Amino acid sequence: MSTAPTPLPALFVSHGSPMIALQPGAAGAFLQRLGPAIDVSFGRPRAILALSAHSLAREPVALAAPRHEAVHDFGNFDERLFSLRYDAPGAPELAARVAQLLPGGVHVVDHGGLDHGIWTVLRYVYPRGDVPVLPLAWSPQASPALLFALGQALSALRNEGVLVLGTGSITHNLRRVFAQGMHDHGQDEIAESRAFREWIRQRAASRDWEALFDYRRQAPHALDMHPSDEHLLPWYIAAGAGGRDAAPLRLHESVTFGVLGMDSYAFGTESAALEAALH
């Protein structure tokens, strides 16, 4: 597989809940267009470094298995989800490169598996499962600023044909979703979610990094939209990989269950080319 000819943007995509695997909706339709748009604009990535809200550790851990399968790491969702598979090659050689780039190094283990934040996304982006994946677990105790620095350390990978992919959810309060019985009938978005998503978009467009790092204090309804913030934190890792100079670019916006924001962002000066390919 050839290396991408030009630097890849870093990406953050919202996977919302595991139900995106059965109910793709607008976000799933966007993800289906995303893979071909990447390939046309930059060439097929030689590997994906996946940073998910569901693969967490006290220190960075690279899951360097030679092959991965889907992990069904959830409960209280549709039983049909447990029959879905996504198998993909691993990228164990990439783990050594990641260890070179991270100042504190990385723990490398020879086992793996793709949590649902990864495989529910990739089954739309690269449905054939033919792009090698290296999941990198990270610490949810780290601040947004520290995770941005983690992304900065990984930025060189974008010049080496590696897609740095963060997955989470731009808003994520599952208690609100479960309270309404997990029914998504095209409800209007609640005001709190709309205000939070728009704050992120505006602060990102103006590259107001200090406000973004302090989002839990400054953003409207931050604690409601993220009772715990592991689903937003991959945004900062991908943003760091894209760098401070280019404004983050929102590629997609939609909402499921009236409260789960499904926005996706691209980071880096190459983002505009990807946006153009998507339209």
Over residues 226-243, the pLDDT tens digits come to: 999 999 999 999 999 999
Neighbours of 28 (CB within 10 A): 21
CA atoms of 112 and 135, how far apart (whole Å): 8
pLDDT digits (tens, 9 = 90+) for 64-90: 999 999 999 887 788 999 999 999 999
In a domain, 117, yes or no: yes
In a domain, 88, yes or no: yes
DSSP characters for 101-153?
HSTT--EEES---B-HHHHHHHHHHSTT--S-EEEEEB-TTS-HHHHHHHHHH
**What pLDDT is attached to residue 145?**
98
In a domain, 1, yes or no: no
In a domain, 5, yes or no: no
What DSSP designation does 79 have? G
Neighbouring-strand partners of residue 48: 133, 163
How many domains is the chain built from?
A: 1
**What pLDDT is attached to residue 4?**
44
**What pLDDT is attached to residue 182?**
64
**What pLDDT is attached to residue 184?**
67
In a domain, 4, yes or no: no
Pairing of strands 88-89, 67-68: antiparallel
In a domain, 3, yes or no: no
- With tokens 């704050």, the residue in question is 199
In a domain, 221, yes or no: yes
In a domain, 197, yes or no: yes
Domain that holds residue 90: 10-278
User: Residue 255 maps to which CATH number?
Assistant: 3.40.830.10
Token pair of 91 as six digits: 């990228």
Q: CA 172 → CA 223, 255, 256, 259, distances in Å?
A: 10, 11, 10, 8
Where the chain has pLDDT below 70, the residues are: 1-5, 181-185
